[in-house]
Structure 1
Amino acid sequence: MGILPVLCRSRGRWQLLLTVLAVLSGFNWAGAQTIRSGQLEVLVTAAGSTQPTPVRVRLTRAGRVVPQLPQQAIGVMYGLWDHADGFGFQPDSSFYVNGRFRLALPPGTYQLSLSKGPEFLDQQHQIVIQTGKTQKKAYRLTRWINMAARGWYSTDGHIHIRRSPREDPLLMSWLQAEDVRVGVLLRMGDFWETYYPQYAFGEQGVYRRDNYLLVSGQEDPRTPELGHALGYGAADKVRYSNEYYYYDNVFDKLHELGGLTGYAHHAETFHGYRGLTLDGLRGKVDMLEILQYCVDETPLRTDHYYHLLDLGFPVTATAGSDFPWCGQDHGHGPAERSARIGNARFYVYTDGPLTNQSWKAGLKAGHTVATSGPMLDFRVNNARPGDRLNLKKGDKLTVSVQAFGHAKQVPLDKLELIGHGKVLASVSKTDAGQSASQLTLNLELDTLTRGVWLAARCFAGPQQAAHTTPVYVTVDGGGFHNPETAERYLKLSESYLQEIEQELEKESHNPEMRLWHYKKGLKTRIAETREVVEGLKKEVREKIKDKRQEK
């Protein structure tokens, strides 16, 4: 769920908005059949196929949306807090069709926008409608990259829409129109109730069409004091209403049911860093949503991610749109800030065809890249993101990173190799042999004496970024933590634990602030986490002592 300022800026009742736009446009759209009009017939296919393809459509005239839906528009109820805020129109006044639509329009000049996710090139067309005539238009969408052909499958890990088997085919068309290969629909909860129900979980909740999947998950527990928790891939939902602030109980059960657990919103909003510290340092967190448009216009946020990594805890990078709560689209004028499925996504590498099981296995292995545009191929001694390499002291590492973009749609700017949170090497589009369409880094790291986590990071056009899960490198069976930052991050961890302790002493009459009701159980969990912190501090002190003795 996004933060309140985002909701206030970018949401509304779409029917009211469209009515206002209709008045401003000067046309009596509701009575269009009573005036002389023309017809627009559109067919959209994708390169390599003659069949219509699901696509996102936006139709405007003089910069104003045409507040009229074709009969072929695919509508599904959606909205904030599971309310009926939208149906056929998307928040930016686009709509989805399965590749064909027909619409009666008053004569004039119109602008038609077509899109199908970041791997396809967007198209804009001008169409002139004449009275009594039919304009038949056929358009072919082309890819600038095909990640599925490389074994990487796009995932939006954070979608809030209720569904039943009746909605599955309609929602699948929405996913295909954004080229999201796996859509994770999250049942959302808070202390009081749940929203966006899913009719089944695990394999029973999987809906497949072609090479696309709809799967169920959960964003629950969710509190303003400890953050928003995520659960993917479990055989069932898990909710303990009477122990709501004990996230670890939910995480343990989700793991028992074959699921993965983590935190949403970069762990920044809703004090998610507190919960991340409490559960992450006790080894109960698998993943962190590091890329999303819910915090501000910078989608990639890594402070809390690097915190855990530098302390030696492996965490998989994920991303998600948080539809219909959060978004950042450009080029659409007044509707600039709006939710959109797939605007933040992560790619999962699978060793073989896409299935729910292969997707879960790839996610569990950490084979992921989070992105809002750029595509990354990152290898360390040919290992992929999420892999672990155990080397001997003095062994060399061969690092290869390629970033792919498109000069107009995803113009690459900078590619970086990150090690222990620092930039070890970088290239930009202005360097020799590099371009806005492809950036390449190849290097060797010599005389490795200790472990390190290595990741690739890329920046492109406005609000476009990508980050891989690290490759975890250990030496002679040691760890991959960062001894240089360990003391600082452990102090920060302790400060977060103290924040929770301070909140436990505040008896609030606010019905949304219930942390203090769970004082006893949370103090036990804080004590357990503090033991981990003290153990890590002891390790740091011993290593510092050993280094001094060596000198």
Structure 2
Amino acid sequence: MGFGQPTGNLRIRTIDDENDKPTPVRVRLTQSGKPIPALPGEAVAVSYGLWDHADGYAFQPDSSFYIDGAFSLDLAPGNYQLTLSKGPEFLRQSHELTIEPGVSLQKTFRLKRWIDMAARHWYSADDHIHIRRSPSENEFLLNWIRAEDLNVGVMLKMGDFWATYYPQYAFGEQGVYQRGNHLLTSGQEDPRTPELGHALGFGADASVRFAQSYYYYDKVFDEIRRRGGLAGYAHQAESFHGYRGLTLDGLRGKVDVLEILQYCVSARPLRTEQYYRMLDLGFPLTAVAGSDFPWCGQDHEHGTPERTARIGNARFYTYLDEPFSASAWQKAVAAGRTFVSSGPMLDLRVNKARPGDRLDVKPGDSLTVTVHAYGQAEQVPLYALELIAHGQVLNRVTSNEPGQSAEHLSLIYPFEALQRGMWIAARCFGDSTQAAHTTPVYVTVNGSGFHNPKTTGKYLSQSEEYLRELEKELDTHRDNPEFRAWYYKQGLKSRIQETREVIANLRKRLAR
């Protein structure tokens, strides 16, 4: 604003339509498509950035900012566009505002849900947020996740061969900060290597790092689990050759969780190739998801204002049958009671079993699978709902069919005269960036496995190919200091041999 130019004032309040209370929201204010550089004093600000640098503070990567229910800002006269959002369960709002000189424009906007998943006992989480945290940041960061309508924000300390980033002041119970049905907790993305992928862990009572044996992920996984946490792989086990690490550790029973929905690998966030491989081989894995803020967005390389890194853009929901708390949430995640989502909501039942449950039946028994998907016609329009068993689509409905709609898709599918176990899951698609997928229900017959006999040969051969690929990497001396797997050749080759023994035993056992 130039010197002496008359200004007007904008005063905004945001109210939760359900309880009439002020509510934190995400705000984006633009004029002719360009963000306003001025920032209200009420903006909730925390320093964040790539590699733990101070790249951002109050403004988010798309030039939006968070508020805790209200803000005021002096603006030059003119027309402005205001966008308010609060995660996928609330309806995003856009408003045209006119500021006049010397006039205070006061507006109150009510944020309305189209669905309340917590009321259905499903609690949302982003398992992959990189922001350094001390106790003084807790309340600010809690408002960030409340503004995105997340119940759990997992703040990850990050590491590589050389150093660690985004420190957390405490882990386990000491690292939990909770207010109502919203909490922050600590975890780690470490080890991270270009040859084996990025490891993920949360819930342990301490961060775990073995600097002198950095490439032995299994040591970290074992210790995280010993300390009460869960461990697994990030980025769909695709980027940074994560499928190698997943093979090495997953086939030896070291892996609890796998991120299967995220915008780091592709603008289409749901990627299940490695997930289905492990499930078909008979290894249960809990599906999780996270934003990898501030690194990944829907268009991380060529971001537009609506398509950049954003907390909660990939999330997962966990079903709790007890009051919400950090320990109850982690117990339910460990049980696999989850589905991942970037918009659509899913409800899968196999008889009465939910995702993560193990259901043992007798030969010849029948099952009934019921799946519902929920969306919102304008902002989360559903297109297709699919029932998946052993990686194959058994039934599919679309919003164009009679009895289906962009807001609700459903199907009922009978399994008759079961003779063999299987894993059963559901997935749903909206627009190109909106998808959801459940952790499976694991069905066994007389205590047998749930593996897929039609694909085990293929997937075991693929796993062996990944091991050969890793061996080739180990036999290549690299001068680039970022690639250090060759330095741990002996230890990794012994782990490869252990994995080959697992594969050989699986071939024998699964053949029977």
Q: CA deviation at 1:334?
A: 3.5
Q: TM-score, normalised by structure 1?
A: 0.92
Matched, 1:510 2:510: no
Counterpart CA distance in 2 for 1:351 and 1:194 is 37
- 1:35 Cα deviation (Å)? 1.9
1:81 partner letter = W
Q: Secondary structure at the match of 2:454?
A: helix
* CA–CA distance in structure 2, aligned partners of residues 512 and 83 of structure 1: 20
* Equivalent residues of 1:487, 1:540 under 8 A apart: no
Identity of matched residues, %: 63
Specify which of 282, 294, 300 is matched with residue 264 of structure 2: 294
* Pairing partner for 1:68 from 38, 57, 72: 38
Q: Say yes or no: does 1:119 pair with 2:114.
A: no
Contact 2:15 2:109 in 1 (8 A): yes
How far has the Cα of 1:214 moved from its partner?
Answer: 0.2
SS in 2 for 1:166: helix
Aligned with 1:70: secondary structure?
coil
The superposition leaves residues 131-153 of structure 1 with CA deviations (integer Å, 9 ceiling, x where unpaired) of 00000000001000000000000
Corresponding residue for 2:296? 326
SS where residue 169 of structure 1 aligns? helix
Matched-pair contact (CA < 8 Å) for 1:329–1:336: no
Q: Secondary structure at the match of 1:339?
A: coil
Tell me the equivalent position of 1:145: 115
The CA distance in 2 between the partners of 1:467 and 1:220, in whole Å, is 26
2:309 aligned counterpart, secondary structure: coil
What SS class does the counterpart of residue 42 from structure 2 fall into? coil
Report the 3-state secondary structure (helix = DSSP H, G, I; strand = E; otherwise coil) of the residue aligned with 1:473.
strand
Q: Distance in 2 between matches of 1:482 and 1:338?
A: 38
- The one-letter amino acid of 1:400's match is T
Pairwise CA distance, 1:354: 0.8
Contact 1:326/1:339 (<8 A) preserved: yes
SS at match of 2:205: coil
Q: Tell me the residue number matched to 1:475.
A: 445
Gaps of 5+ in 1: 1-27, 544-551
Residue in 1 that maps onto 2:236:
266
Query: How many residue pairs end up in the alignment?
Result: 511
Other-structure match for 2:102:
132
Residue in 1 aligned with 2:248?
278
What is the distance in 2 between the residues matched to 1:462 and 1:311?
A: 29
1:106/1:457 CA distance change after superposition, 3 Å: same
- Alignment partner, residue 353 of structure 1: 323
Of 171, 182, 197 in structure 2, the residue corresponding to residue 201 of structure 1 is 171
1:344 lines up with 2:311 in the alignment? no
Whether the 8 Å CA contact 1:222–1:228 is kept in 2: the answer is: yes
AA aligned opposite 2:131: I
Instruction: State the alpha-carbon separation in 1 of the partners of residues 468 and 395 from structure 2.
Output: 37
1:403 and 1:415 in contact (8 A); partners too = yes
Contact 2:422 2:444 in 1 (8 A): yes
Structure 1 residue 255 corresponds to structure 2 residue 229: no
CA distance in 2, matches of 1:491, 1:254: 30
- In the alignment, which residue of structure 1 is the partner of 2:383? 413
Task: Find out whether 1:464 has 2:464 as its counterpart.
Answer: no
Superposed CA offset, 1:364-402 (max 9, x none): 000000000000010001100000001000100110100
Aligned with residue 471 of structure 2, among 472, 497, 501? 501
- Extract structure 1 runs of 4+ deviating beyond 3 A: none
Tell me how far apart the structure 2 counterparts of residues 334 and 237 of structure 1 sit (CA, whole Å).
Answer: 35
Q: Is 2:186 aligned against 1:216?
A: yes
Q: Which is helix-richer, 1 or 2? A: 1
Deviations for 1:147-191, whole angstroms, at most 9, x for unmatched residues?
000000000000000000000000000000000100000000000
Deviations 1:14-34 (A, max 9, x none): xxxxxxxxxxxxxx3xx57x4
Deviations 1:471-522 (A, max 9, x none): 0000011000000000000000000000111111111111100000101111
Partners of 1:152 and 1:350 within 8 A in 2: yes
Aligned residue identity for 1:225:
E
Q: Deviations over 1:313-332 (max 9, x none)?
A: 000000000000001279x9
- 3-state SS of paired residue (1:443): strand
1:374 is matched with: 344
Aligned to 1:315, which of 285, 304, 316? 285
Distance, in Å, in 2 between the alignment partners of 1:179 and 1:50 is 16
**Which whole-Å CA distance do the structure 2 matches of 1:125 and 1:428 have between them?**
32
Deviates more, 1:336-345 or 1:298-307: 336-345
Residue 442 of structure 1 and its aligned partner are, at CA, apart by 1.0
Q: Partners in 2 of 1:337 and 1:464 — Cα distance?
A: 13
- The CA distance in 2 between the partners of 1:106 and 1:333, in whole Å, is 28
Task: Give 1:365's aligned amino acid.
Answer: A
Contact kept, 8 Å, 2:188 with 2:200, in 1: the verdict is yes
Shift of residue 333 of structure 1? 8.7
Q: CA separation in 2, counterparts of 1:400 and 1:334?
A: 39
Q: Residue 499 of structure 2: which of 529, 534, 538 is its match?
A: 529
CA distance in 2, matches of 1:99, 1:60: 19
SS at match of 1:335: coil
In 1, the alpha carbon distance for the partners of 2:208 and 2:93 equals: 43
Deviation at residue 335 of structure 1 after TM alignment: 2.3
Q: Cα RMSD (Å) of the superposition?
A: 1.2
Cα distance 1:298–1:305, how it changes in 2: closer, same or farther (>3 A)?
A: same
Read off the aligned partner of 2:289 and give its amino acid letter. A
Return the letter of the residue paired with 2:64.
Answer: S
**Residue in structure 2 matching 1:172, options 114, 118, 142:** 142
Mind listing any 5+ residue stretches in structure 2 that lack a counterpart? none
Q: Distance in 2 between matches of 1:476 and 1:53?
A: 51
Relative to 1, partners in 2 of residues 1:385 and 1:287: Cα closer, same or farther, differing over 3 Å? same
Correspondence 1:49 to 2:1: no
1:484 is paired with a residue whose SS is: coil
Q: Secondary structure at the match of 1:521?
A: helix
CA distance in 2, matches of 1:224, 1:344: 23
Letter in 2 for 1:468: T
C-alpha deviation, 1:298, in angstroms: 1.0
DSSP 3-state at the match of 2:94 = strand
